[in-house]
Amino acid sequence: METFDHVIVGGGIVGASIAYHMRCKGAGSVLLLERNELASAASSRAAGLILQASTKVSKTPLVKRTRDTIPILEEELGESVGFHNVGSLRIAASEERTLELDSMAADASKWGVPIEWPSTTELSKLVPWLDVSTIRKAAFLPTDGYADPYLLSMSYFKAAQARGAVLRPRTNVRDIIMNNQKIIGVLTDAGHVSCGTVIDACGAWAALFSAQAGSPLPMAPVRSHYWITEPSASYGGEHPVTILPDIGAYMRPEVGGLVLGVQEPRSATFDARELPDDPAAFSPTQGEEHWDVLANSYDAISQFFPGIESAQFSNYICGLSSYTPDGEIILGPVPSISGFYAAAGACGSGIALSAGIGDVIADLVMQQEPAFNIETFRSDRFGMVDPFGEAFRERCAAARASKSRKLT
């Protein structure tokens, strides 16, 4: 039987960053187990936005940690990790969103995130395709941008491996082994691994995985999606990521065209028990229904982006994000199971939060105080719930619907 100090289950960006941070801090031997290929689930489908200001003030320091880690990783690997530092523009077109923007900006400033307040003329220069006539206020965050999520995940993996982490794709973890509520190992398709720590970084499957230890995490898989346009001279170019919370939409550049993301009023959710092990065998969108979702948003989007009327959409990407009812992640020890930690329910921000999450888990397994306050992220904050039941899943879908706005 093999023995490691720590076993990370799940080889997406969250597991990758945890492996990297654990080895950076010298946390002992680390084995990462992934049942498919590395970064083949949500972490290869994300739009990759890295936005440091958030309606969830708890997220800002963790995202900032990711932004600060990007140049460190690049230095360490001697190559790009696929980050595009185009900045982000957050637009408010109503009084409610203006107040929200002011409060987000004040919070982000406290963490040292640079924020500028462009004039209408400056806005038109930053994003020439934007109709500025209905905009009340806009903030520009020059250090934000977007990453290639697969490249960033693989960069964490490479750096973790160089520091001694063992990465094992195509290895399914079938069970968690405990003795008197204390982790002593895992059972994989290839046999037993003995360890004192297990970290659940199983993405959309995290509640299912933790249920094996009798503690299903309070989160549910929810559909996230976006569309990609053909390249166009009228809106192509390296413009800032543009966030439109009034209509729950965002745009970012994509090889001469745009990525357009829309938060649905009611996103599809799924019972994790019914998901196949291989995400390639499952699509959260059936048939062509997504064109209706896009068509329903046209009028709202065209207020800000009139060019949408003539945009040619050539691609549609969908996948599963994991949401909790309050839109906050689940991060920290799983109560009543010694040696079991959760890093899940990233609420559509796992790429942006990745380094913050990795840093917290690395500190926790080394019995050190995390650099961030993680009280908000406790896994028992909703009390006893059935994360697979429809009523709970609807609460998670509602959190997705209002992701870019404060929950009311």
Ligand X SMILES: Cc1cc2nc3c(=O)[nH]c(=O)nc-3n(C[C@H](O)[C@H](O)[C@H](O)COP(=O)(O)OP(=O)(O)OC[C@H]3O[C@@H](n4cnc5c(N)ncnc54)[C@H](O)[C@@H]3O)c2cc1C
Name the site residues for ligand X (rule: CB under 6 A).
9-15, 33-36, 40-43, 45-49, 172-173, 201-205, 209, 224-226, 317-321, 346, 348-352
Q: Are 153 and 12 a contacting pair, CB within 8 Å? A: yes
Query: Which CB sits closer to ligand X, 351 or 361?
Result: 351
Query: What minimum distance in Å lies between the beta carbon of 371 and ligand X?
Result: 20
Strands 49-50 and 173-179: unpaired
DSSP string covering 329-343, please? -EEEEPTTSBTEEEE
Query: Which CB sits closer to ligand X, 137 or 252?
Result: 252
Query: What minimum distance in Å lies between the beta carbon of 190 and ligand X?
Result: 11
Query: Which CB sits closer to ligand X, 274 or 299?
Result: 274
Query: What minimum distance in Å lies between the beta carbon of 186 and ligand X?
Result: 9
Query: Which CB sits closer to ligand X, 132 or 275?
Result: 275
Q: Compute how many other C-beta atoms are within 10 angstroms of the C-beta atom of residue 269.
A: 22
Query: Which CB sits closer to ligand X, 137 or 225?
Result: 225
* Encoded tokens for 307: 């060019």
For 228, residues 6+ apart whose C-beta sits below 8 A from its C-beta are 254, 257, 258, 259, 260, 313, 314, 315, 316, 317
Query: Which CB sits closer to ligand X, 137 or 267?
Result: 267
For 408, residues 6+ apart whose C-beta sits below 8 A from its C-beta are 402
Strands 6-9 and 83-84: unpaired
Strands 145-147 and 49-50: antiparallel
Amino acid at 402: S
Query: Which CB sits closer to ligand X, 137 or 210?
Result: 210
* Encoded tokens for 158: 């490479």
DSSP string covering 29-45, please? -EEEE-SSSTT-SGGGT
Taking each helix axis from N to C terminus, what angle separates 13-24 and 149-162, rounded to the nearest 10 degrees?
A: 30
Strands 241-244 and 249-254: antiparallel
Query: What minimum distance in Å lies between the beta carbon of 177 and ligand X?
Result: 14
Its sign, for the CA torsion 63, 346, 72, 199, is positive
Query: Which CB sits closer to ligand X, 63 or 137?
Result: 63
Query: What minimum distance in Å lies between the beta carbon of 6 and ligand X?
Result: 15
DSSP H or E run through 315: strand 313-323
Query: Which CB sits closer to ligand X, 244 or 352?
Result: 352
* Encoded tokens for 11: 């080889």
